[in-house]
Amino acid sequence: MTVTIKTADLIESVADALQFISYYHPMDYIRALGEAYEAEKSPAAKDAIAQILTNSRMCAEGHRPICQDTGIVNVFVKWGMDCRLDDTSQSMQEIVDEGVRRAYLHPENKLRASILTDPAFTRRNTKDNTPSVLHVEMVPGDKVSVDVAAKGGGSENKSKFKMMNPSDNIVDWVLEMVPQMGAGWCPPGMLGIGIGGTAERAVLLAKQSLMDPIDMGQLKERGPRSDVEELRIEIFDKVNALGIGAQGLGGLSTILDVKINDFPCHAAGKPVAMIPNCAATRHAHFTLDGSGPAYLEAPKLDEWPDVNWTPSSEAKRVQLDQLDEAEVQSWKHGDRLLLNGKMLTGRDAAHKRIKDMLDKGEELPVEFRGRVIYYVGPVDPVGEEVVGPAGPTTATRMDKFTSMMLEQGLLAMVGKAERGLDTVASIKKHKSAYLMAVGGSAYLVSRAIKGSKVVGFEDLGMEAIYEFEVQDMPVTVAVDAEGQSVHHLAPLVWQEKIRKESLLEGA
User: SS3 sequence, 269-320?
Assistant: CEEEEEEEECCCCCEEEEEECCCCCCCCCCCCHHHCCCCCCCCCCCCEEEEH
| Closest residue to bound ligand LMR by CB | 154
Check residue 460 and report its DSSP letter.
Answer: G
DSSP H or E stretch at residue 116: strand 116-117
Query: With contact defined as beta carbons under 8 Å apart, do 245 and 254 qualify?
Result: yes
Among the listed residues 370, 416, 346, the one whose alpha carbon sits nearest the alpha carbon of residue 158 = 416
Q: At 415, phi and psi to the nearest 5?
A: -165, -155
In the complex with ligand LMR, the residue whose CB is nearer, 202 or 442, is 442
- Quick one: which of 339, 344, 381, 305 has its CA closest to 457? 344
Q: Which is nearer to ligand LMR, 276 or 305 (CB)?
A: 276
State the nearest-atom distance from the C-beta of 321 to ligand LMR, in Å.
26
- Nearer to ligand LMR by Cβ, of 335 and 348: the residue is 348
Which of 134, 149, 223 minimizes the C-alpha distance to 190?
149
Cβ closer to ligand LMR: 345 or 426?
A: 345
CB of 463 closer than 8 Å to CB of 317: no
CB 141 within 8 A of CB 287: no
Helix, strand or coil, per DSSP, at residue 467 = strand
Nearer to ligand LMR (CB atom), residue 34 or residue 377: 377
The nearer residue to ligand LMR, 100 or 231, going by C-beta atoms, is 100
Residue 149 or 272: the one with the smaller Cβ distance to ligand LMR is 149
Interface positions with ligand LMR (CB under 6 A): 68-69, 152-154, 184, 377, 393-394, 439
Shortest distance (Å) from residue 460 CB to ligand LMR = 13
Closest distance of CB 419 from ligand LMR, Å: 13
Q: Which is nearer to ligand LMR, 152 or 192 (CB)?
A: 152
- φ/ψ region of 341 (left if φ > 0, alpha if ψ in -120 to 50, else beta) reads left
**Phi/psi of residue 319, nearest 5 degrees:** -95, 105
Least distance (Å) from ligand LMR to the CB of residue 378? Answer: 8
CB of 58 to ligand LMR, least distance (A): 18
- Of the candidates 198, 200, 204, the residue with the CA atom closest to the CA atom of residue 269: 198
From the number of C-beta atoms within 10 Å of its C-beta (0-12, 13-18, 19+), residue 324 rates as exposed
DSSP 24-64: ---HHHHHHHHHHHHH---HHHHHHHHHHHHHHHHHHHHT-
Given the complex with ligand LMR, which of 68 and 132 has the nearer CB atom? Answer: 68
Task: Answer whether 63's CB lies under 8 Å from 105's CB.
Answer: no
Identity of the residue, 186 or 265, whose beta carbon is nearer to ligand LMR in the bound complex: 186
CA 275 to chain CA mean position, Å:
12
Q: Give the CA distances from residue 73 to residues 76, 178, 211, 399, in Å, rounded to whole numbers and listed in that order.
A: 10, 24, 13, 28
Q: How far is the CB of 415 from ligand LMR (least distance, A)?
A: 8
Shortest CB 55 distance to ligand LMR, Å: 14
- Least separation in angstroms between residue 248's CB and ligand LMR is 12
344 φψ region: left (φ > 0), alpha (ψ -120 to 50), beta (else): beta
Choice between 373 and 481, CB closer to ligand LMR: 373
Q: How far is the CB of 493 from ligand LMR (least distance, A)?
A: 25
CB of 417 to ligand LMR, least distance (A): 7
State the minimum distance, in angstroms, from the CB of residue 325 to ligand LMR: 28
User: CB within 8 A of 208, min separation 6: which ones?
Assistant: 76, 147, 192, 194, 261
Q: To the nearest whole angstrom, how small is the minimum distance from the Cβ of residue 381 to ligand LMR?
A: 16
CA–CA distance, 437 with 402 (Å, rounded to integer): 18
Residue 326: count other Cβ atoms within 10 Å of its Cβ. 8
Chain mean position to CA 304: 20
Taking a C-beta distance cutoff of 8 angstroms, is the pair 462, 390 a contact? no
- Give whichever of 439 and 474 is closer to ligand LMR, judged by the CB atom: 439
Which of residues 184 and 271 has its CB atom nearest to ligand LMR in the complex? 184
Residue 348 beta carbon to ligand LMR: minimum distance, rounded to whole angstroms: 8
